[in-house]
């Protein structure tokens, strides 16, 4: 049998229902590129995910601790299994982080709003990971799984 027939390929998640299912299924999320700066999207999204009950594991080789949580240099360095690797890195820097997510045994990779790398997405899909591209986890979670406060924004 051809390898593609024996190993399930990942899915590119684009439909609301697929993204909602992923967000409902994952618990342990590695946030790659998390920042100490509260104005940065990586900081805001990570804090939001924590507030929504996710186990957020910060990944940034420049930090030892983020918001009282041990920070890891890579997804592979995290001792427990990670369900989702949420990438806050420039598009051109994505490929090694996708390889890291694959090696860590993640089930999905999420490239945040404005981040897209088609070859890295294909590599993740071929390795069996589900992939979300160019979407914000906070916006999608709030839109699909939780009602935004009246007059609020994502």
Mean pLDDT of 144-153: 60
- Other beta carbons within 10 Å of 83: 18
Instruction: Give per-residue pLDDT as tens, 55-100.
Output: 999 999 999 999 999 999 999 999 999 999 999 999 999 999 999 9
Residue-level pLDDT at 147:
58
Q: Residue 7: which pLDDT band, with cuts at 50, 70 and 90?
A: low
What's the chain's average pLDDT? 92
Residue-level pLDDT at 146:
78
Q: What is the pTM of this model?
A: 0.89
CATH of domain 3-145: 3.40.50.720
Instruction: Give per-residue pLDDT as tens, 14-42.
Output: 999 999 999 999 999 999 999 999 999 99
């Amino acid at each position: 049998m051809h390898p593609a027939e024996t190993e399930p390929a990942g899915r590119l998640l684009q439909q609301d229902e697929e993204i909602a299912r992923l967000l409902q299924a994952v618990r342990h999320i590695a946030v790659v590129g998390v920042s100490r700066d509260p104005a940065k999207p990586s900081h805001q999204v990570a804090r939001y995910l924590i507030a929504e009950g996710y186990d957020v594991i910060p990944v940034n080789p420049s930090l030892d601790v983020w918001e009282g949580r041990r920070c890891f240099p890579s997804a592979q360095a995290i001792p427990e299994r990670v369900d989702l690797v949420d990438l806050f890195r420039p598009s051109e820097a994505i490929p090694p982080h996708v390889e890291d997510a694959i090696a860590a045994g993640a089930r999905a990779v999420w490239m945040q709003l404005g981040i897209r790398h088609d070859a890295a997405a294909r590599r993740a899909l071929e390795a069996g990971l589900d992939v979300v591209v160019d979407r914000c986890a906070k916006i999608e979670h709030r839109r699909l799984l939780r009602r935004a406060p009246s007059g609020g924004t994502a």
